[in-house]
Amino acid sequence: MYEEVAYIAYHFHWPNDQVMNMEHRERRRWATEISRINETLNNTRP
């Protein structure tokens, strides 16, 4: 759980308590979306 919270809070700058209050499924979904964004950005850079 802490890894997910840190990952989301770091990338979206959301407060820790806001992320901690999310259900696991919602945190997992946001973490997946952040990962996709990062992959897209990494693959489009020259």
Q: Is residue 46 part of a domain?
A: no
Q: How far apart are the C-alpha atoms of 43 and 5, rounded to whole Å? A: 25
**pLDDT given at position 26:** 94
With bands split at pLDDT 50, 70 and 90, how would you rate the model's confidence at 4? confident
pLDDT tens profile 24-43 = 999 999 999 999 999 998 99
User: What is the tally of structural domains in the chain?
Assistant: 1
Other residues' Cβ atoms within 10 Å of the Cβ of residue 5: 18
Q: Is residue 7 part of a domain?
A: yes
Under a CB-based contact definition with an 8 Å cutoff, are residues 27 and 19 in contact?
Answer: yes
Please give the radius of gyration of the chain, using alpha carbons only, rounded to the nearest integer. 11
**pLDDT given at position 5:** 87
Range of the domain at 16: 2-41
Q: Is residue 10 part of a domain?
A: yes
**pLDDT given at position 3:** 87
Q: Which amino acid is residue 28, in one-letter code?
A: R
Please check the confidence at residue 46 and state whether its pLDDT lies above 80: no
Mean pLDDT of the chain, nearest integer: 89
Q: Which amino acid is residue 32, in one-letter code?
A: T
